[in-house]
A and B are shown apart, each in its own frame.
Chain A
Amino acid sequence: MSTPRAHVLLDRVIPLGAPNRLALWLACCLAVTLLLTFGGLIIGTTSIETSLHWLSAPDEQAAVVLWQIRLPRTVGAWCVGALLGLCGATAQGVFRNPLAEPYLLGTAPGAALGVALSLIAVDSTIGELAWAGKLGLTAAACVGAAAATALTIALARGVLQTTSLLLAGIVVGSVLGAITSLILLTKPEIFRAMQTFLLGSTAFLSWSAVILVGGVLCLSFVPAILLSRGLDALTLGEDTAQSLGLSLPVLRLALLGMMAVGTATTVGQVGIVMFVGLMAPHVVRETLTLNHRQLLIAAPLCGGALLQAADLLSRWIIRPAELPVGSVTACVGGAYLVLLLWRRNRHA
């Protein structure tokens, strides 16, 4: 301390910043994303040879398939995955729990209920909906998610206790899920559309969806990056964070609001896609030592690539038919989670 040990020397030698492997990592992530996007263009109901031929010399029909169906689908999957990754990393920071995920506050069941109600209202199915109807679904999902979040916060009596918030989120999620199931039982005509929705599907992503999700993603970055040091402070404990001048209610409300909007947007477009929001921050943390500002940039890039890959897999496994992307992420994500638990147990 005040004794002249080696510190005087070290003062000159040691830089404060961590060695920056982040740039390299991000570059790799982007490269993988580009590869996956290319894969998204050439994998589909046609053979790969045909797709490659289309790419080199597209006729009119090929151009529609490539640029109006496959490209928005894979880009949209990236946007949704990125938004889920961002929400997941935020949730884990806000709740100080590595197993937190974007659907925690009952947002997903809430959004599902909203969609079910709006489907009954317009009496249609997801596949037939036009752009306006799609926005209607997104709006319904947003309203449902916002209502569920508000209900959760009300039940937890504010945002002061994260444990109460988690418990209230579980309660709200189960109750809203049960209500949705009841509606499905009484209204079998929306069952198929809801099934697609509940299992998660990237099949209906259009350019309008890409613009919507991309816009929300950009907007969500604003509170996330502004409050990233607050999330850092929160890792030291709530008391220490408060003593550092942080207002916990402001931080939590802002970030929970962002999570609610972000999750609702993704649920409105692709339905419920499990595990991407949980996995993405973990994949990043396993490889890098990051503060939240860096994590909140890296986790979306990782999440985007993850969902793109899952989307490709869902189209590849039983081609020319396809699986719901939510079932693919559930299997892969579940396996990853088990692996993570095993590794933790071994370290502990």
Chain B
Amino acid sequence: MREVRAQAVNAREVRPGDAPQPPATAPLYCRDLSVGYGTRRVLDGVTLDFAPALWHAVVGPNGCGKSTLLRALAGLTRASSGTIVLHGRELSAWPRRARARRLAWLAQTSGATDLTGADVVGLGRLAHGGWLTARAAEDDAAVRRAMTATGSLEWAQRRLSSLSGGERQRIHLARALAGEASVLLLDEPTSHLDPPHQEDVVRLLREQAHGCRVCVVSAIHDLSLALAADRLVVMGRRGLIGQGTVGDALAGDWLSTAFETAIEVVEYKGTHLWRPALAAGAGHP
């Protein structure tokens, strides 16, 4: 354990101290972001850049502030200090609906409503139409695309409350996609899903990032899935450990620092996999 703490100190030093100027194209970045609930500080001076056309995975142990980070970036939790900039404009300065057209947020758990699947996904277009206009044809087309992409079209007419957790998750993911925002903030989009569908979601996130040039930021619990991301944001209980490519994270052993235990990552046919230290003699040195 002492060894791990020593690593943590080292990793702090790895963290870029001076904030680099963000690239002009960064759709979303934050500087010295601090967020607290009451007296408890969850995020303390976090500086991050999120690039377009990349999938960023936020990883870290439970309670390290992944959800808080995403909520702050979505403008749902007020930051106690620091700035968040969306498309070159301070997040809080955006008009509500204009912001919602550019930034979509997916909650970790969403309520089981009595609405139909299509109605829920249609809500992703809420900021697009006027108050008076009914759903336009282009809204319907976007809803259909999003539902097809997440494989949820067959539940279009079902009440959401009658679907399983995984099915609901895919409807909610479709809702986040339906707005066709340029920034997607997803809190655990793979929870409640069986492994093949987790893989589908990951493929979808990549497609959104690389194909549609969306800036995707997602908190992901499953380390093997997270290691497939373009960029990693690694958070520990004592703050941000680092942001960079998977190579950077592995080189600096950020994951072990973050989880305060040895995290072994193996490479298998070009992909990185987390290897749980369950076998006797493996894992803990």
Contacts and interface: CB of A to CB of B under 8 A. Distances in A.
Contacts of A230: 126
Contacts of B123: 229, 232-233, 236, 244
Contacts of A239: 71, 76, 105, 107
A244 B114 contact: no
A232 B114 CA distance: 9
B116 A18 contact: yes
Nearest to A19: B157
A245 B101 contact: yes
B144 A2 contact: no
Contacts of B75: 242-243
A218 interface: no
A188 interface: no
B117 to A, nearest CB: 9
Given A16-B140, A244-B123, A291 B76 contact: no
B74 interface: yes
Contacts of B143: 16
B233 to A, nearest CB: 20
A348 to B, nearest CB: 13
B115 A226 contact: no
B96 A247 contact: yes
Chain B interface residue count: which class?
Answer: 35 or more
B159 A289 contact: yes
Interface string B132-157: 10000000100110001111011011
A232 B105 contact: no
B104 interface: yes
B204 A2 contact: yes
B268 interface: no
Nearest to B179: A244
B110 to A, nearest CB: 6
A240 B115 CA distance: 15
Contact of B200 (A1, A15, A232, A236): A1
A127 interface: no
A1 B149 contact: yes
A237 B156 contact: no
Nearest to B113: A235
A280 B242 CA distance: 56
B234 interface: no
B99 A245 contact: yes
A7 B153 contact: yes
B153 to A, nearest CB: 5
A236 B120 contact: yes
Interface in A237-261: 237, 239-240, 242-247
B169 to A, nearest CB: 13
Given A2-B207, A232-B119, A244-B126, A11 B153 contact: yes
A318 interface: no
A243 B103 CA distance: 8
Contacts of A233: 123, 126
Contacts of B115: 232, 235, 291
A234 to B, nearest CB: 9
B96 A7 contact: no
Interface in B83-136: 96-97, 99-101, 103-105, 107, 110-111, 113-116, 118-120, 122-124, 126-127, 131-132
A227 to B, nearest CB: 8
A16 B126 contact: no
Contacts of B71: 239
Nearest to A246: B126
A10 B153 contact: yes
A334 B107 CA distance: 37
A53 interface: no
Closest 9 CB pairs of A and B: A245-B100, A245-B127, A1-B200, A235-B113, A243-B105, A245-B97, A16-B118, A244-B126, A291-B119
Interface of A: 1-3, 5, 7-8, 10-11, 14-19, 96, 226, 229-230, 232-233, 235-237, 239-240, 242-247, 285, 289-291
11 contacts: A1-B150, A10-B153, A11-B144, A11-B148, A18-B116, A18-B157, A96-B111, A243-B74, A244-B127, A246-B126, A289-B114
Given A1-B203, A229-B123, A244-B179, 13 more contacts: A1-B197, A3-B203, A10-B148, A16-B156, A18-B118, A232-B119, A233-B123, A237-B107, A239-B105, A243-B74, A243-B100, A285-B114, A289-B114
